[in-house]
A and B are shown apart, each in its own frame.
Chain A
Amino acid sequence: MRLEYFQLIDRIVELDLGSRTIRTQATVPAESTIFEGHFPGFPLMPGVLLLESMAQTSGWLIIGITGFSRMPFLAAFKEAKLRAFVKPGDTLELTAALVHDGSGFARTKAEIRHDGKLACNAEITFRVVEFPNPEFRQHMEKAAAALAFPMEQLAHG
């Protein structure tokens, strides 16, 4: 994770366009100014950032499914549950599955596990629109490459 850049996942482990699922991985930084306030003497990864990490995981899934032609923007969380504390240095396994591919929107189910234990889960809705401009899309393609997004699957998928 690069919290200062709002990059909440480190690597796309698997993108399965057939089952419309994705797996990503993220390690919470050992140190961050965020932990100075959240909380002094008891550093915890903020729940809103865990939700964002599930949204980013889901977002890459939707980008994959749309063949990098459209951009998902977070619209709503449903039944978001923070089930366990996540601490600095923890390595997280994130998964998301597409629940519905609507017209101009999509919904996923996502979860985070730490040491195999469910730490967080939610159902997430996105507005899915055309990339606002070519520069934005290029930025996302660079970000995808940095996360090991399997571009070759899009060509074959």
Chain B
Amino acid sequence: MSSTFDAVATIIAETCDIPRDTIKPESHAINDLGIDSLDFLDVAFAIDKAFGIKMPLEQWTQEVNEGKATTEQYFVLKNLCAHIDALVAAKGA
């Protein structure tokens, strides 16, 4: 988890020009860090490439839009990292 968070935080810092030390596990990518949907595509691209996965952004967005999930479940960084870890584990299974 911590190495995943470090990698994700570095990606966000470099991709979105956000100071690394302001990015915390509790940070909400949209509400706290101000990452908009276009910048998040760059973040998703870098995460997909770094971890060899395909984050199901469309599914997550649909779940949020349908009220089945909250943005916090996917876009608070510690939760995002947990999803990334799960995707990486599923890939290796």
- Residues of chain A having any CB pair with chain B under 8 Å: 75-76, 100-105, 107, 125, 127
Contacts and interface: CB of A to CB of B under 8 A. Distances in A.
Contacts of A101: 54
B54 A103 contact: yes
B41 A100 contact: no
Interface of B: 38, 41-42, 44-45, 48-49, 54-59, 61
Contact of B58 (A75, A104, A107): A104
B45 A104 contact: no
Contacts of A105: 41, 44-45, 57
B45 A125 contact: yes
A41 to B, nearest CB: 39
A80 B45 CA distance: 18
Contacts of B44: 102-103, 105
Given A103-B54, A105-B44, 7 more contacts: A75-B41, A76-B38, A76-B42, A100-B45, A102-B45, A102-B57, A104-B57
